Amino acid sequence: KRFKEPKAERRPWRIWFYDTSKQAIGALFIHFANVFLPDLTEEDPCSLYLINFILDATLGMLLIWLGVKVVSWTVQHKKYTYLVFGEYG
């Protein structure tokens, strides 16, 4: 995916790694939750996956959006220059 970005706008490797590692860690966490949750609850894995996906795509996105807004406002209000989203120094 990194090589699909225009060369002039391509992120450095370190920043690209930071961005993609967050997504990979989240995907691994959800994958293991989907694998082990059916054993703990004795429910159908497919229905639990669907519920998990729907909650993640709706409520999860709303919570993430709200969290980003709150943190962004706090960073701007308190002038924490090292905590700006997307800025890695």
User: What is the tens place of the pLDDT at every residue in 13-53?
Assistant: 988 898 889 889 988 988 888 888 888 888 888 888 888 88
Mean pLDDT of the chain: 87
pTM greater than 0.85: no
Residue 58 placed within a domain: yes
pLDDT-derived band at 54, boundaries 50, 70, 90? very high
Which tens digits make up the pLDDT trace of 62-85?
A: 999 999 999 999 999 998 888 887
Region class of 85: left (phi > 0), else alpha (psi between -120 and 50), else beta: beta
Residue whose token pair is 């997307």: 86
**Do 85 and 22 form a contact (C-beta atoms < 8 A)?**
no
What domain count does the chain have? 1
Q: What range defines the domain where residue 33 resides?
A: 2-78
CA atoms within 13 A on the CB side of 62: 4
60, part of any domain: yes
Report pLDDT for 58. 94
89: in domain: no
